[in-house]
Structure 1
């Protein structure tokens, strides 16, 4: 057994997976062999869920049945919604509220005792269907508005936007949001996916795994960079300075530009390329290309400065925030929306790992004292 220390488990292989593969050197991402650009362009989020959970793209009949069964699970018990309102009134952070509500969902799951892969996927489908309802209800509660019942006739993406705003989204917004969900659905053994998988390895239920995944995703080093990007863009906008000049000054002052650099990608994140094009579509539809101009100019400048050559390239967060902002979504909902998408990957990884399960139990190198003399409490 090797005693080599690998901080952060960097480069350590802990499992085999058929779900997704990231090639950071060339900038590709595939789900079960399908390129992410093709899936984002031609498949719905529901199709991607089916692919991740069941191993193949669905036929039209399979998709209709799957999408219908998912839509039928969108309703959330009133007790959970009451808790969501309480959390909103208390000023709770959206990710913390989502974590609490997701854990609470298991109390109202009549099928929560189903075992094996089938039970994991059934529970996972219910969680995946209900998280958008919880999140939309939380935001509306913060605005002093009642929740909007889910519409089973709308897609997963379209229904969330409808529940959030009370208005059915236009085609560009729905397609863009659907693509964003697809792009964030899975990404290898990132921190939140690994967390869910570790919990799953104890044979805990998928509610526990997803709740743990949400907790891991809430950390500033994992899920919040898209909000950081938008805060930066608004800061630039309010300064009335040219975005490139602003970034030059910020870098000289020692500030880091969020949305650049990734633990795996050494070139531009393929998801960033896709969202940049969707930002173009949104800008064209609205007539406001401010964020497109800012992000494109900043990327071109930092590329000319050699950051990309050094392996510090735009990641998915650099464009996802401006895409969400263009649809009127509040900044502190960006990471919960990430969770709303990534739950599909968490469920898939838990189901896959549990099929050939081994408890994940690494070691730590002990660095404490070799011996210590115990002193009775009255003599200390």
Structure 2
């Protein structure tokens, strides 16, 4: 045992994984041997989910069967829809609502067990992961529509995972370009090493708690502004810059002088530009050009150039996902829920891996409090 202190477990190796590899100095992200650039360009989200869960890309027939199985699990039962409606009526935060929904999903799953032997059943867990991955988008779309006074839209099994979500959100089948851009965003967010939410899922699973508990832990962790919640802050910042009427670089300079944090920059792992930010930046530019409105993209580029030149900080995935989603008409406060909608693939893949070679995750803290105090009875204090 070492007495070295690593705050935030920075740089501490706690597990071995075959799922994703990050080279922070070179700006590389790899899922099971495939670069994120190749997967974003050539693979659908469904293919990436299959890759993470099964260790290899599916054949055409395997993909068809897998996609159909996931599409068949999209619908929510009446009890769950009533819960979603009550959360929408209460104007609950979308991530808090999602946390509740994920927890309740276990009540409707006959395979959601806590028996120490059954909880690690790989095939059963893949079926549970399929249900979670399929139903989370339906819950997010239904919640968003209900709070706006609209009826939920029943999912369709003939649409892709990405296209179906946009259809349920807007009650309108998306065009091919929007569906492709959104699918690519889901691919980019599907996994990212042992990040905070994935680690929290692994910690929960290491106790031999069930998959639903692990994903509930992950959702709660992702909600924080230093993790998944950062993408909302980026778009709110861009809107503030626009409404100020100031030049973006002058706004950033003033914000930094005031001690404010510029959202979407810096990363615990990457020392260079996040490779996912490069791809999403290109998508943001394409959407802007198609809409004939470069405002959000140009503002983002100006801020990126200033932060890189003056502070040596490069953007992370949140920086360009914000303007990409905004240009697609997606409400700002569900950005993090969409992150969860994608990352559930990685969370469940890591939980499957944890169960395969499990050891209870139990770090220690260095005690720095008082010692050798003398106890005084309450009537003498």
Q: TM-score range by the shorter chain?
A: over 0.9
Equivalent residue, structure 1, for 2:210: 205
Equivalent residue, structure 1, for 2:366: 365
Equivalent residue, structure 2, for 1:49: 49
Provide the C-alpha distance between the structure 1 equivalents of 2:111 and 2:182, rounded to a whole number of angstroms: 30
Equivalent residue, structure 1, for 2:93: 93
Provide the C-alpha distance between the structure 2 equivalents of 1:5 and 1:243, rounded to a whole number of angstroms: 40
Paired residues in the alignment total: 376
Within a 5 Å distance, the mapping from 1:124-203 to structure 2 comes to 124-203=129-208
Task: Give 1:379 shift.
Answer: 4.1
1:249 correspondence with 2:250: no
1:108 correspondence with 2:113: no
Equivalent residue, structure 2, for 1:229: 234
Equivalent residue, structure 2, for 1:343: 344
| C-alpha RMSD of matched pairs (Å) | 1.3
Provide the C-alpha distance between the structure 2 equivalents of 1:79 and 1:377, rounded to a whole number of angstroms: 51
Task: Give 1:10 shift.
Answer: 1.0
Provide the C-alpha distance between the structure 2 equivalents of 1:168 and 1:261, rounded to a whole number of angstroms: 36
Provide the C-alpha distance between the structure 2 equivalents of 1:37 and 1:12, rounded to a whole number of angstroms: 27
Point out where structure 2 has 5 or more consecutive residues left out of the alignment: none
Equivalent residue, structure 2, for 1:84: 84
Residues 183-214 of structure 1 show CA distances to partners (whole Å, capped at 9, x for unaligned) of 11111110000000001111111100000000
Task: Give 1:278 shift.
Answer: 0.6
1:265 correspondence with 2:265: no
Task: Give 1:232 shift.
Answer: 1.0
Task: Give 1:345 shift.
Answer: 0.4
Residues 206-260 of structure 1 show CA distances to partners (whole Å, capped at 9, x for unaligned) of 1000000000011111111111111111111112222222223322333222111
Point out where structure 1 has 5 or more consecutive residues left out of the alignment: none
8 A Cα contact 1:172 1:281, kept in partner: no
SS of equivalent residue, structure 1 residue 221:
coil
1:240 correspondence with 2:245: yes
Provide the C-alpha distance between the structure 2 equivalents of 1:363 and 1:299, rounded to a whole number of angstroms: 39
Equivalent residue, structure 2, for 1:4: 4
Equivalent residue, structure 2, for 1:279: 284
Equivalent residue, structure 1, for 2:39: 39
8 A Cα contact 1:29 1:36, kept in partner: yes
Task: Give 1:149 shift.
Answer: 0.4
Residues 101-159 of structure 1 show CA distances to partners (whole Å, capped at 9, x for unaligned) of 11000000123245411122111111111000111110011101111100110111111
